[in-house]
Amino acid sequence: MKVSGRKTGSALSHAPDNWNAVDWRRVERNVRGMQIRIAKATRESDWRRVKALQRMLTRTLSAKLYAVRRVTQNQGARTAGVDRELWNSPESRWEATGGLKRRGYKPLPLRRVFIPKANGKERPLGIPTMRDRAMQALYLLALEPVSESTSDPNSYGFRINRSTADAMGQVRACTSRKDSSRWVLEADIKGCFDHINHDWLENHVPMDREILRKWLKAGLIYKGQLQATEAGTPQGGIISPTLANVTLNGLERELVAHLGAKFGIVKAKKLKVNVVRYADDFVITGDSKEILESVVRPWVEAFLAVRGLQLSEAKTRITHIDDGFDFLGWNFRKYSGKLLIKPSKKNAQAFYRKVAETISGNKTAKQGDLIQLLNPMLRGWAQYHRPVSAKQTYSRMEHLIFRKLWRWSKRRHPQKSAVWVKQKYFHSIGARHWVFAVRTEREDGSWGLNELYQLSGMAIKRHTRIKGEFNPFDPTWEQYGETLRQGRMWEQMRYRKQWATLYMSQGGLCAHCGCALTDETGWHDHHLEYRMHGGADTLSNRVLLHPHCHQQVHAGKLVVTKPVLS
């Protein structure tokens, strides 16, 4: 691959000649430097400069390497498109980097697959080819600084460092006080991803229009038949969530401006209208049912209609806070004037159904294997509901799961007594009895109990929501963003104590390249002295690396040292 000898802000000073020779720290620095410049031009409304910088970024080697790394390290890396091609070797990834060119680019149709939803229905996904995914990731690098700089402050879905817990925290802030909004418009957009108007996207998304048009019109293949795509963005494409966010940006800001123009700024504030959005799910609070019904809802419907969207009549309603409403898997309701947020019944039922199906589908599995299947599910669900009043739901769910496991245990030994079954599958640990656990041999030769994760053991902790005006591409927010990232990664790792200790000792950075370890990049546990060479499993002999850095270290037989924080 040839690289221009000119010095630019994003050119690699020493171009690598293979995948394992890439200096990822320099790649990330180059890409981020260009993204910061794009965001600055966006804030200054210098759209000609934005377009020029975007074009420059998508043509750099650093951005192409970054894009290929992203699509080959994420969860979809093992899922092929219609060409059945996967980039699962360093050689194929290096060759793919050279093929990310605008000239002559023509995306292939999407591969249509269906995945089950919580309500029993199926969600359609469109799987692009690896090359099309990489091109989307490349142009997303240029689009994201613009979308982040122009997004509504209380939009939380598919944005850097934002989560459902942040959206929940904002709803709490808008409804928890005695003088807070009393009415809520629960909005549901009918098939958002399937109906977005293509012409609107082409005219309003700040990116290369020709490339965007090719993606939108690529079509899809289902059961061997090619189907045209006349509207919508495919769920499954890397860039699709950002396109949906750009489509709905302005819902909050423009509504506030409309109310200010209609009633005056002072009166508009007294209406207590607040918008909280997570992707295509949003709620709008208001001080009266009339204002939501006669002013807000018609305006929202007109806003969506321009974009080819409409509200679902069946799922859109206006509710009093004393009656409660569901949003993102939680139920928000005031009891005698006090707001309580609990896991919604629908969310709990869907989770139990998933656990019950796992238990029923593994009737002949070993107890240890079943525990290994269930624990990540239980831990993940418990962590999701950790910021809300979930203790009662945890206890109820534990009881239901215990009953299911007891039936699983009894079925395996129909000729044995209940006492015998209890002694085989259930144990006492401290003050806890009837713990579903199995005796296992540890690495040091001792024996211990591998137990089912205890839902009620999850401590409830209030979530600190992100500041609405935070922009990850604005240098003035750099320190805040770094603190936020490390804090949230710590929350994810704190139940894996050894990983958490390594993460904090490394300052949240990869021990090889020095770049940030995030949930998106993932991490591998690397032994400084290999265990096959006699290396110990102690923390002093281990570090956390990015998955691609781990591959580089082993492929190049590189030496990694324990990082020392200054």
- Are 128 and 163 within one domain? no
pLDDT tens digits, 121-177: 777 888 999 999 999 999 999 999 999 999 999 999 999 999 999 999 999 999 999
Per-residue confidence band for 535, with pLDDT thresholds at 50, 70 and 90: confident
- Are 27 and 73 within one domain? yes
Supply the range of the domain harboring residue 427: 345-451
* Cβ–Cβ under 8 Å, residues 290 and 279: no
Question: Would you say residue 564 has pLDDT above 80?
Answer: no
pLDDT more than 70, % of the chain: 96
Question: Would you say residue 497 has pLDDT above 80?
Answer: no
- Are 136 and 159 within one domain? no
- Are 354 and 272 within one domain? no
What is the count of structural domains for the chain?
4
- Are 391 and 318 within one domain? no
pLDDT of residue 26: 93
What CATH number should be reported for the domain holding residue 416?
Answer: 1.10.357
Q: Does residue 464 fall inside a structural domain? A: no
- Are 132 and 51 within one domain? yes
Q: How far apart are CA 72 and CA 75, in angstroms?
A: 8
- Are 145 and 155 within one domain? no
Q: Does residue 547 fall inside a structural domain? A: yes
DSSP state of 105: -
What CATH number should be reported for the domain holding residue 192?
Answer: 3.30.70.270
- Are 331 and 274 within one domain? yes
Domain end marker among 294, 312, 341: 341
pTM of the model: 0.88
Write the CA distances from 269 to 142, 262, 290, 303, integer angstroms: 36, 12, 16, 21
Mean pLDDT of 68-74: 90
Per-residue confidence band for 5, with pLDDT thresholds at 50, 70 and 90: very low
- Are 156 and 277 within one domain? yes
Q: Does residue 457 fall inside a structural domain? A: no
Q: How far apart are CA 484 and CA 159, in angstroms?
A: 14
**Residue among 319, 287, 290, 276 nearest 178 (CA):** 287
Q: Does residue 4 fall inside a structural domain? A: no
pLDDT tens digits, 72-89: 988 778 888 999 999 989
- Are 379 and 435 within one domain? yes
Domain end marker among 92, 121, 149: 149
pLDDT more than 90, % of the chain: 70
Query: Residue 466: what residue type?
Result: I
- Are 496 and 507 within one domain? yes
Q: Which two tokens stand for residue 379?
A: 């831990």
Per-residue confidence band for 8, with pLDDT thresholds at 50, 70 and 90: very low
State which H helix or E strand residue 42 sits in.
helix 24-43
